[in-house]
Amino acid sequence: MDEINSRMTEKKRAPSGQDVARWVGDSAFLYWGEITRMIESSYPGIFVPEWLFAGKKHGWSLRYKKGRSFCTLIPERGCLRILIVFGAKERDKVKDLISELSSPVVEAYNGAVTYHDGKWLLLAVDSPAVLNDIRLLLSVKRKPRK
């Protein structure tokens, strides 16, 4: 499937939860819920999720940020992806926990391109192991509240 057909590109309005559920499918939507609940409970009152429309090629995404980007959830047909951008200091912290990450996430991290504004890690959220890795990686971006 080409990228244009895999993204939610209907510009009229931001997707609803039901729209996302239908688009990504049942299992991916469970991960969507896990991530959004984790962010809300671990970082209460810090982030306000914001739907962004990035044109016909990239479609809709749900961004969490406060000043700097925290993460972006990208609903794709039959799949959920998450984008996390790591600055230089954050990349040093990731090195310290790399041994705790699953091998697919380590491979994705090592293969991610580093741009002038950071290392852009795009992950398919498709297993409990990846979900756990996301928790660890987001804690590098900002320590969760206990």
> Does the pLDDT value for residue 1 go beyond 80?
no
Domain count, the chain: 1
Quick check: is 132 in a domain?
yes
Structural domain contains residue 71: yes
Contact status, residue 23 vs residue 15, Cβ threshold 8 Å: yes
Asked if residue 146 is part of any domain, the answer here is no
Calculate mean pLDDT across residues 115-138: 96
Domain assignment present for 121? yes
Distance of CA 99 to the CA centre of its chain: 21
78/8 Cα distance (integer angstroms): 11
Q: Model pTM? A: 0.91
Write out pLDDT tens, residues 62-115: 999 998 899 999 999 999 999 999 999 999 999 999 999 999 999 999 999 999
Identify the domain containing residue 29 by its residue range: 3-141
Query: With 50 as the cut, is the pLDDT of residue 40 above it?
Result: yes
Task: Please report whether residue 106 resides in a domain.
Answer: yes
Positive or negative: CA dihedral 88, 43, 65, 77: positive
